Amino acid sequence: MMLRLSYQFTLGLVSAITVSAPCAAQDRIEHKAAGITIDRPAGWHDLSLAQVQANREHVRLADPELQHAMSTQSTMPLLSFTKYEEPHAGLNPTIQLGLRPLVPGAPTEVLEIALQTMRRVYADFRLIAPVQAVQVAGWPAAHASATYTLRNDRGESFDVKGRLWLVPRGRLMFLIAMSGTQTGEDVCESEFQAVISTLTINP
């Protein structure tokens, strides 16, 4: 169970990175079935499920089992936004929100277990903000951020900075993943912090 969870979180974080050939006003987005609302940064774009799947197929992982699982078993996100319209040459800053069955344990413990697989998949995986307890939309949650190198099927590599939040709610838990470059204008730190502060989660 925990091994499967670890794989699912890795799939979530990896697939929240888009690789393919300052925000003022925001767009309020609601997902009624999940009971959440969030602001999409002004000028950012919705990513369709077909585009999410296509991007997953571009990623190349060191772990063959995880590579296969990402293409065939990974859960699709509820919402997905990218800074640039697809297709985009290079690393496209991405925001994704997913929903999965709850796993018992404190949010920090569950996130720690999930990140163990990340360390196996990426040789240069490094936590730059350790797993810590936080509040997201008024709910107890866990957060961490890390850097690593992502490779695609064209032999290109990208230096990624990823952020991950885990937010339990009842029998479910939200996985929120945001990724950008490690340097330059596409780090998107201010955009990501602004967006997470707009999230509301209904009981």
How many structural domains compose the chain? 1
Query: Mind listing the pLDDT tens digit for each residue in 54-107?
Result: 887 777 777 777 777 766 667 889 999 999 998 888 899 999 999 999 999 999
Cβ(37)–Cβ(28) below 8 Å: yes
Question: For the domain that residue 122 is a member of, what is the CATH number?
Answer: 3.40.1000.10
pTM of the model: 0.85
Mode of pairing for the β-strands spanning 18-20 and 36-41? unpaired
What range defines the domain where residue 54 resides? Answer: 2-201
Cis before 87? omega within 30:
yes
pLDDT of amino acid 3:
45
pLDDT of amino acid 120:
80
